[in-house]
Amino acid sequence: MLALFLSTFVTLFVVIDPVGCAPIFAGLTRSYSPRQASGTALRATLIAGLILLVFAGVGGGLLAALHIELNSFRIAGGLLLFLIALEMVFEKRTQRREQNADKARADPADDIAVFPMAMPMIAGPGSIATVMLLAGRAQSMAQLGIVFAALLAVLVLMVGALAAARPIMRALGARVEAVITRVLGVLLAALAVQYVVDGVRGVLG
């Protein structure tokens, strides 16, 4: 059981990638107060966890019923992430938040906890496919419980990683933070393109 937990934990940690999500979260929440950022990190992780649990339980049947392939998630998620990356590179998201801070706080549609953090950054096509595969391989309720326990452990680490990223970024100073945000935007754009490429390859292959 311990070996199953460790292997599942390592697999989910690599795929969900809390370390990789953290700096992008810090860049997206530059204009947030510490309390707002903490709440956003917690909401994003909870929403992503719920999405992954649903797909672990009924994901295969749901996608089959809707005639949706994971490659479609990859393409759609990649296109949407690319738009976010452009805003990070050109500082449009930060400028808009600073000019309309009060409105942004009150507008749920502008909450990054759902998009892009919960999906597709945390609960992306790769993590959805992984939890579906791991849950499908479980041969007993005990093994399924271990899969869920490993997922919970990774999500707890995700909250910690997101919470730690902002103080680190702020300690570097505003100019360095702005440069890092743009670099992360470029990396996010590359990740978005890779999502699309993988999706297209899957469809064509």
Give the pLDDT score at 98: 46
Give the pLDDT score at 185: 77
pLDDT tens figures, 7-65? 899 989 988 888 878 888 988 888 888 899 999 999 999 999 999 999 888 876 777 78
Give the dihedral sign, CA 113/119/122/123. positive
167 pLDDT tier (thresholds 50, 70, 90): confident
The predicted model scores a pTM of 0.70
DSSP code, position 90: T
Whole-angstrom distance, CA of residue 9 vs CA of residue 3: 10
How many CA atoms lie within 13 Å of 160's alpha carbon, on the beta-carbon side? Answer: 6
Give the pLDDT score at 114: 92
Question: What's the token pair of residue 102?
Answer: 């009060």
Residue 17 three-state SS = coil
As a three-state string, the secondary structure of 139-181 is: CCHHHHHHHHHHHHHHHHHHHHHHHHHHHHHHHCCHHHHHHHH
pLDDT tens figures, 49-97? 999 999 888 876 777 787 877 688 678 778 877 887 787 788 665 454 4
Give the pLDDT score at 60: 66
Tally of structural domains, the chain? 1
Mean pLDDT, the chain, whole residue set: 81
For 58, the enclosing helix (H) or strand (E) is: helix 34-66
Give the pLDDT score at 186: 84
Give the pLDDT score at 110: 59
Q: Among 90-99, 133-142, 168-177, which is the least confidently predicted range?
A: 90-99
DSSP code, position 108: G
Interval 146-170 mean pLDDT: 91
Q: Domain span at residue 191?
A: 2-204
Give the dihedral sign, CA 32/34/40/44. positive
